[in-house]
Copies of this chain bind each other. A is one copy, B any other.
Amino acid sequence: MAYRNRFAALADPTRRRIFERLKSGPQAVGAIARRMPVSRPAVSQHLKVLKEAGLVADRPEGTRRVYYIDPNGLGALRAWVDQFWDKALTEFKAEVEMQTSERKDKPK
C-alpha cells in the first residue's frame, strides 16, 4: 500500500524541494508553503504523495500539521540502489578497460 513508487515521489522538483526543506527540521504545512512558489494546497498534495511513499510522516500540533522525514522510505531507496552498486562498479571497470584496449587495436 505504502512505498508505491518512491522514485516518482521524488521525481517532481517541487516535491524534492519540499523534502529537502524538511532536512532542516520538522515543519508545518503553511510554513513550508510560505517559502514555495506554489500555493498551500499544492504543498498539501505533494506532502500526501511523499507520505504515501513513506518518505515523510506527520504529527498534529494544535490546528497545524507538522511534517518530518520518515527514514523508512529513505532506507528502501538506499537498499534498492545498493542492490546494483557493487556489480555495476566492477562491470563498468571491465567495460572501460575493454574499450580502451580496443582502441589500441584500432589506433585510428
Q: In A48-90, which residues have CB < 8 Å from any B CB?
A: 57, 59, 68-71, 74-75, 77-78, 81-85, 87-89
Most buried by B among A7, A12, A13, A68: A7
Residue ranges of A at the interface with B (Cβ–Cβ < 8 Å):
5, 7-8, 10-13, 16, 23, 25-26, 57, 59, 68-71, 74-75, 77-78, 81-85, 87-89, 91-92, 95, 99
Q: How far is the CB of A61 from chain B (nearest CB, A)?
A: 11
Minimum-distance CB pairs A-B, first 4? A11-B11, A8-B11, A69-B88, A7-B10
* Contact status of A78 and B71, CB under 8 A, knowing A5-B11, A11-B8, A91-B26: no
* Contact status of A26 and B69, CB under 8 A, knowing A11-B7, A78-B78, A78-B85: no
Task: Select A81's contact among B78, B87, B99, beta carbons within 8 Å.
Answer: B78
Chain B residues with Cβ below 8 Å from A81 are: 74, 77-78, 81
A3 CA to B1 CA, complexed, in Å: 30
